[in-house]
Amino acid sequence: MAPAKLESILQNLDAEHLKRVILRLSANLPSEDRSTVSLPAIIDALTEGQGLGPGREGWQAQLRLREAIIKLVEEIPGMLFVEGDA
């Protein structure tokens, strides 16, 4: 992913937009799984399936987007970021 595209995503990402993305993703899950939306699914939705690119630049982009998501989830009432086991 081009750095400009990541910057565009980050500039347009706010708590309300993220909430809509998470709720849309959740609605597509089986009812018993709707309380959890994975971080990779959120990133995929925000990047419109384009990914974040390979190598070091891709990893750095993923970390920046991940940090932004975690920070914004704290602003959404009723939502909580839970670190998963890897």
Residue 1 has a pLDDT of 58
Mean pLDDT for back-to-back runs of 10 residues, the chain (86 residues): 81 96 95 91 94 89 95 96 78
So what's the pLDDT on residue 82?
A: 92
Query: Are residues 22 and 72 in contact, defined by beta-carbon separation less than 8 angstroms?
Result: no
Q: What pLDDT score was predicted for residue 86?
A: 57
Looking at residue 53, what is its pLDDT? 85
Q: Cα–Cα distance between 5 and 75 in angstroms, integer?
A: 24
Give residue 79's pLDDT. 94
